[in-house]
Amino acid sequence: MVNTKFMALGATALRSNLVHLRHPYKLTFSITYRCQSRCITCNIWQMKPVNELTIEEIREFAMKNSYFRWIEITGGEPFLRGDVVEIVRAFRESCKGLYLLTMPTNSLCGTAAELRKIEEILSLGVPKVSITVSLDGYRELHDRIRGIPGNFDRAIAIFKGLKELRKRHRNLFMVFGYTMSRFNQGQFARTFAEVRKEIPDLAYNDFHLNAGQVSDIYYSNLDLDLGVSKETAAGEVREFLKMRKPQVGAIPAIEGVFLRKLLEYIKTGKTPIRSRSLDASLFLDSYGNVFPSIMWGRRIGSIRSTNYSLEPIWHSREAEEVRTLIKAGKEPDSWTACEAYQAIVGNVSSFIL
């Protein structure tokens, strides 16, 4: 039986091809900028956040903006917030049409404690919960990129634990998130082989590939050089596409488009599909500031100044000015999963390759 919330999400996404949506259906929300990693590809861990949104403020925001069907909770490391389960509960109770919750983790919050929190989240009844376990290389390489000895082993432990949870919670999905940069270029095949030694039934579909990118507001890494050899990176993506098993369904199809357009982005450095920022989606930081996406530091407003209602910000003159710039192709070029999926579904012609 097809989930009615999935159908509603799909209908809303497809409608975005034809009209400007009254409300966004996807929220990307950084609930904290705290992070224990010491990544050489990202500077989030150097932030010292203060006065982040409280659980009471988040509940108020969820209650007053109850139309989200897809929520991506991110960080920093989201599981560093002791109230992460209550944050999800707030959206679950207010957003009656919520179908999909996605969350990344660096695996450093303690395997047993983190798995307990994930199981609590799974028990809240969100139809689909997807956890991305960050893994950027084989043991020595991942630990060097992440700056934490033993991080590879913790990522493996979390993934194994998630596989056990999946036996009890069919709404759970998980992948390893592999971000390509100059620090790990050409090393995906070795990484996959090393992980498979730990997880014998591992498949290529258990990985999601990203290209390392820079952002002034999210990664705060404009000072870093992540560039990879275009030829090497494109070769890895092509090989990855060949090795993935065909799967039936909307999400595998969208993932396939994402990867093929990732090839295009690697070659050109240009966003391959028209953005749906400030139409289908927005980025909310941990202080309540609203941005078009994680990749563009053009602040639209603050929910703290609108009594936690997104409506005045969404329909503001500032938002309309930014939408005009987006239509004119003035948004910073990028291709990240946070922004790409809604762009793909909001531009159906992208499936005609």
pLDDT value of position 2: 54
Task: For the chain, give the mean pLDDT.
Answer: 93
Instruction: Name the β-bridge partners of 72.
Output: 28, 102
Residue 157 near residue 166, CB atoms below 8 Å: no
Query: By three-state DSSP, how is residue 72 classified?
Result: strand
- Tell me which residue of 130, 132, 70 sits closest to 104, measured CA to CA: 132
- In this prediction, residue 314 carries a pLDDT of 96
- pLDDT score, position 1: 45
> Do 217 and 291 form a contact (C-beta atoms < 8 A)?
yes
Q: What pLDDT does residue 353 have? A: 46
> Do 72 and 336 form a contact (C-beta atoms < 8 A)?
no
Pairing assessment for the beta strands 128-134 and 70-74 based on DSSP bridges: unpaired
Question: How high is the pLDDT of residue 215?
Answer: 87
pLDDT at res. 349: 56
pLDDT digits (tens, 9 = 90+) for 148-176: 999 999 999 999 999 999 999 999 999 99
Angle between helical axes of 188-198 and 139-146 (0-180°, round to 10): 110
CATH of domain 4-351: 3.20.20.70
- Cα separation of 191 and 143, whole Å? 12
Instruction: Enumerate residue ranges in the chain where pLDDT < 50.
Output: 1, 350, 352-353
Q: What are the residues whose beta carbons fall under 8 Å from the beta carbon of 160, sequence distance 6 or more?
A: 198, 199
Measured CA to CA in angstroms, residue 238 lies from 188, 338, 339 at distances of: 12, 22, 22
Structural domain spans, the chain? 4-351
Q: Rg of the Cα trace of the chain?
A: 19
Sorted by sequence, the CB contacts under 8 Å of residue 5 that are 6+ apart come out as 69, 97, 98, 99, 127
Give residue-wise pLDDT tens across range 289-343.
999 999 999 999 999 999 999 999 999 999 999 999 999 989 999 999 889 999 9
The predicted model scores a pTM of: 0.94
- The whole-angstrom separation of Cα 38 and Cα 236 is 26
Q: What is the pLDDT of residue 250?
A: 77
DSSP notation for 109-176: S-HHHHHHHHHHHHTTT-SEEEEEEE--SSHHHHHHHHT-TTHHHHHHHHHHHHHHHHHH-TTEEEEE
